[in-house]
Amino acid sequence: MIKRIALAFAILLMVAAAAAFVAWNHWNASIERFATTPFGSEDGTERLVDIPRGAGMRRVARLLIEAGVTANDERRLLAVAKSRGFDRRVKAGEFAFKGALSPEAVLDQIAKGRVKLYTCTISEGLRTDEIAALLDKCGYAARAEIDRALKDTALLARAKLTAQGSFEGYLYPDTYAFPKGAKIEAILLKMVERVRAEYARADAQRQNGVTLNEHEVATLASIIEKETGDARERPRIACVFHNRLRKKMMLQTDPTVIYAKLLRYGFFDGNIRRADLEFAHPYNTYTVKGLPPGPIASAGRAALQAALNPMPCDDLFFVACGGGTHKFCPDYECHKDWVDVCQLGKSQKKK
């Protein structure tokens, strides 16, 4: 009798074990199907999930389900996370999900920290105040916070700009991408880092005889940037300025007069008057020889390269002649003739 009971009990255990094994296999198979089955529509709607710092996997699962990123099956979602090790690699930040995505793909994106990035394009030739306005518009920080950062002496020291005393000319024009909540200090330092990288690239092609240091290059490049919108002209514009510097001539470039007026009045009314040209100011290159104390805007790659590697020429003058282009001259008589043609509408003299 006892043997029969023991046998029956053993059989029950075997049946239970077999049932448990089948159930376990069925569960694992369902986990695999769940992990790799895309969920959601393909309409391109962006679903945002903001994962707070320190959030555990259960909190993350609920946020994903509430946002409609994954199916409403917290148990299987947690099982997928655990089986893949995603539960130990949760990253904080704002994540964006589009289209039908599998839970595995969603969790992988979070584990790798691929957060949503917000882009901001800074064009060449902008001053720091104009760049600050763009950074504000892009939502990186409030204007007051940006202005405080730009005047922060500790931040200038971190950027190695203490001697320069300003970020002017050291915020590289480019398209940037930063996540939500990025610190404005980190953004400004990144822009300075890009200037230094582009300067190093241009410096590798420095022309023999060009002895300008980094700050002088940034200054000259900013003037070149403001003088022409035609990339093809930048090396020749640079040549004119290098020739004038060698001859100890005043640069006499209007963008520096405009910058001086901005520093004096806080705005530019669109006009340069004789009194402006004659007003003694460190940035007015009609009254002081050589380069101004610092950049007047942020220069791009082409202007930096031109400042260090100008084309060979004998020109000492240039005049705007429509379409954003200029006429170049080696002497004042030639320059005067082109001023008559380009700015006064006179007929070109026959040679």
Mean pLDDT of 218-238: 94
Domain boundary among 164, 199, 234: 199
- Say whether both 309 and 328 belong to one domain: yes
Q: How confident is the model at residue 162 (pLDDT cuts 50, 70, 90)?
A: very high
Whose CA is closest to 235, among 301, 306, 305? 306
Q: Is residue 30 part of a domain?
A: no
Mean pLDDT of 195-208: 97
- Say whether both 282 and 322 belong to one domain: yes
Cβ atoms of 108 and 164 within 8 Å: the answer is no
Mean pLDDT of 72-86: 92
- Say whether both 214 and 310 belong to one domain: yes
Would you tell me the crossing angle of helices 214-227 and 301-308 to the nearest 10 degrees?
A: 120
- Say whether both 192 and 219 belong to one domain: no
Q: How confident is the model at residue 350 (pLDDT cuts 50, 70, 90)?
A: low
28 backbone dihedrals φ, ψ, rounded to 5° = -60, -40
Q: How confident is the model at residue 325 (pLDDT cuts 50, 70, 90)?
A: confident
Domain boundary among 160, 179, 199: 199
> In percent, how much of the chain has pLDDT > 90?
80
Q: Please tell me the predicted confidence (pLDDT) of residue 30.
A: 81
- Say whether both 122 and 232 belong to one domain: no
Mean pLDDT of 200-211: 96
Q: Is residue 28 part of a domain?
A: no
DSSP labels, 48-111: EEEEPTT--HHHHHHHHHHTTSS-S-HHHHHHHHHHHTGGG----EEEEEESSB-HHHHHHHHH
- Say whether both 151 and 275 belong to one domain: no
182 backbone dihedrals φ, ψ, rounded to 5° = -60, 140
Q: Please tell me the predicted confidence (pLDDT) of residue 230.
A: 85
99 backbone dihedrals φ, ψ, rounded to 5° = 75, -175
Of the listed ranges 40-44, 73-77, 255-259, 286-290, the least confidently predicted one is 40-44
Q: Is residue 22 part of a domain?
A: no
> Domain of 91: which CATH number?
3.30.1490.480
Residue-wise pLDDT for 307-318, tens only, equals 999 999 999 999
E-state strands within the chain: 46-51, 93-98, 117-121, 175-179, 317-320, 326-329
Q: Is residue 32 part of a domain?
A: no
93 backbone dihedrals φ, ψ, rounded to 5° = 135, 180
Look at strands 175-179 and 317-320 and give their pairing: unpaired
Q: Is residue 9 part of a domain?
A: no
pLDDT exceeds cutoff 70 at 31: yes
Question: What is the identity of the amino acid at 290?
Answer: G
Alpha-carbon gap, residue 35 to 38, rounded angstroms: 8
Alpha-carbon gap, residue 215 to 225, rounded angstroms: 15
- Say whether both 240 and 277 belong to one domain: yes
Mean pLDDT of 284-298: 97
Residues in a beta bridge with 319: 327
Whose CA is closest to 174, among 329, 300, 348? 300
Q: How confident is the model at residue 255 (pLDDT cuts 50, 70, 90)?
A: very high
Cβ atoms of 113 and 68 within 8 Å: the answer is no
Alpha-carbon gap, residue 116 to 104, rounded angstroms: 18
Q: How many domains would you assign to the chain? A: 3
Place of tokens 């504000």: 136
pLDDT exceeds cutoff 70 at 12: no
Q: Is residue 351 part of a domain?
A: no
Q: How confident is the model at residue 19 (pLDDT cuts 50, 70, 90)?
A: low
Q: Please tell me the predicted confidence (pLDDT) of residue 14.
A: 63
Cβ atoms of 200 and 214 within 8 Å: the answer is no
pLDDT exceeds cutoff 90 at 52: yes
What torsion do the CA atoms of 326, 327, 331, 337 make, to the nearest 10 degrees? -120
pLDDT exceeds cutoff 90 at 55: yes
- Say whether both 214 and 338 belong to one domain: yes
- Say whether both 221 and 304 belong to one domain: yes
> In percent, how much of the chain has pLDDT > 70?
90
- Say whether both 123 and 55 belong to one domain: no
176 class by beta-carbon count within 10 Å (0-12 exposed, 13-18 middle, 19+ buried): buried
Domain boundary among 199, 218, 245: 199
Q: Is residue 23 part of a domain?
A: no
Question: What is the identity of the amino acid at 163?
Answer: A
- Say whether both 137 and 160 belong to one domain: yes
Q: Please tell me the predicted confidence (pLDDT) of residue 114.
A: 96
3-state SS class at 312:
coil
Q: How confident is the model at residue 41 (pLDDT cuts 50, 70, 90)?
A: confident
Cβ atoms of 214 and 307 within 8 Å: the answer is no
Q: Is residue 31 part of a domain?
A: no
Q: Please tell me the predicted confidence (pLDDT) of residue 20.
A: 53
DSSP labels, 280-311: --TT-TTTS-S--SS-SS---HHHHHHHHSPP
pLDDT exceeds cutoff 70 at 53: yes
- Say whether both 122 and 92 belong to one domain: no
Q: What is the mean pLDDT of the chain?
A: 91
Structural domain that includes position 133? 118-199
Q: Please tell me the predicted confidence (pLDDT) of residue 91.
A: 94
Q: How confident is the model at residue 9 (pLDDT cuts 50, 70, 90)?
A: low
Q: How confident is the model at residue 170 (pLDDT cuts 50, 70, 90)?
A: very high
Mean pLDDT of 116-144: 97
